[in-house]
Amino acid sequence: MTRTPLEEEVLAVIRPTAAETRLIHEVAERILSRVESTGRASAMMVGSVARGTWIHGDQDLDIFLLFDPSLSREDLESQGLALAREIAAAEAAGFREKYAEHPYINARIDDLSVDLVPCYRVESAARIQSAVDRTPFHTIYIRERIQPFVDDVLLLKQFAKAGGIYGSDQMTEGFAGYLCELLVLHYGGFLPLLEAAAQWRPGVILDPEGHSAKEFTEPLVMVDPVDPARNVSASVSLTRMCEFIELARGYLEHPSRAFFFPPPRPVLTIDEAADLLARRETFLYAITLSTPPYIEDIVVPQLRKSLDALRAMLDRHGFLVNRADCEMHEEQSMLLFELLVEELPAVKRHAGPPVWNRVNAAKFTTKYLEADERGFFSGPFIEEGIYVVEIRRPYTRAVDLLRSEQVLQVALGKHVKQSLEVSHLVSRGIECYREEFAPFISGFLQKSSPMMWIERDGKRSDRS
């Protein structure tokens, strides 16, 4: 396949070196041999290393420990974890237990990050007993087909990484490595994929094996070739899909190295952030809490649920939210809100039922005729057929609302609520700025799609 000089230049940077390849395969063979020698499970290398689609510098190795499917789930966890610990103890400088659908071990072996993951050795993907049982079939499917397209996959992965849309994790909501491989296979290369993606709109359905077993509602659908009831691209949000469309159009119109190695986004200093906030003339608020002790796939959806609930609470009380976002770090997490108004007058207008709704109208007028005058200004009166009263607003300052018990009364994520109940900090304005969250806050205040950032940087370079 003919490559442009730009693509050859990029490939020369991102292809794994011979030394890298040798090291990672030596470690893999050592671990596979050690597992097989126990006689307790078979072993298989999976993921991008096994498929030959990994990028230079990605030092991640996935080894699956395949157990007899007759084992109970409880025995799989206990025996699988015991074997994984045993292998890690013999090979690793250090290791730790992690949790997905069930526990696994992450170890540091010869400077590689190695995941040792127990699963069932099932005959087909139709017989899986846990989600990870599907992964070996993904590896087999791709490995049998990908060889002519390895460079295309490398280009696509680097393209997606540079655009900030690579990864199926909850924070990114982007394109997983397996999805990148399937897209390249489906369209027959990197450029054919971009040409097709430039025309995408929500509702794209790709079914390589023509065997879809259900209706999917996500904006982008790639039916899993080994599981007809699964959408490989279920993690891709509408925003990430549209950012990919925009990047594809941009690259096809003006290909440049910036689409693979983008200009860095500056992290604002505290003084720069303060200046930008002053110029925006909006009001920044942050709630910082201890990160619940669970994996990202559990915590991030709860942070987003909590963010939405608190945003709705602020809007209900009249403190209009321009934008809101959240960030999870290992120790601390942040919910960030930009308000268009942070102080309101004491009076609040409250509309009741129409006059002709006799029963409810009577209840409404009785309630406010008997109301405490300290919380009541005027009414009830009739306006365009509707009863209206003007009452005292419960919170006239956003900071008082965010520091009140109301925060714990909305529909928060379970573990986020537990963390907030123990302790949390409400910050206002530039007090929200903390070094560990500086990149997050900088990105929030300078929000731009990946493509627009590339274009803006190009214009700056032209002017200089």
The verdict on 196 and 251 lying in the same domain is: yes
Among 135, 161, 190, the domain-final residue is 135
| Full domain range(s) for residue 231 | 147-259
Query: What are the structure tokens assigned to 272, written together?
Result: 């720069």
The verdict on 417 and 311 lying in the same domain is: yes
Among 229, 259, 289, the domain-final residue is 259
The verdict on 297 and 368 lying in the same domain is: no
The verdict on 129 and 32 lying in the same domain is: yes
Which is it for strands 227-231 and 112-120: parallel, antiparallel or unpaired? unpaired
Three-state DSSP class for 59?
coil
Which is it for strands 42-46 and 227-231: parallel, antiparallel or unpaired? unpaired
The verdict on 159 and 89 lying in the same domain is: no
Instruction: Give the pLDDT band (50/70/90) at residue 127.
Output: confident
CB neighbour burial string for 318-332, b if at least 16 within 10 angstroms, e if fewer: bbebeebbbbbeeeb
Rounded to a whole number of angstroms, the distance between the first and last alpha carbons of the chain is 37
Any domain includes 459: no
The whole-number pLDDT of residue 339 equals 98
**Mean pLDDT computed over 259-280:** 95
pLDDT in tens, 365-422: 998 888 777 777 888 999 999 999 999 999 999 999 999 999 999 999 999 999 999 9
Radius of gyration for the chain, computed over Cα atoms and rounded to the nearest angstrom: 27
The tally of domains found in the chain comes to: 4
The verdict on 229 and 162 lying in the same domain is: yes
**Cα torsion for 14, 455, 204, 139, to the nearest 10°?**
10
Q: Which of 110-114, 178-182, 243-247, 273-277 has the lowest mean pLDDT?
A: 110-114
Beta-carbon neighbour count of residue 113 at 10 Å?
A: 13
Task: Check whether 264 has a pLDDT greater than 90.
Answer: no
Any domain includes 463: no
Of residues 92 and 436, more confidence is placed in 436
- pTM of the full structure: 0.89
Length of the chain: 464
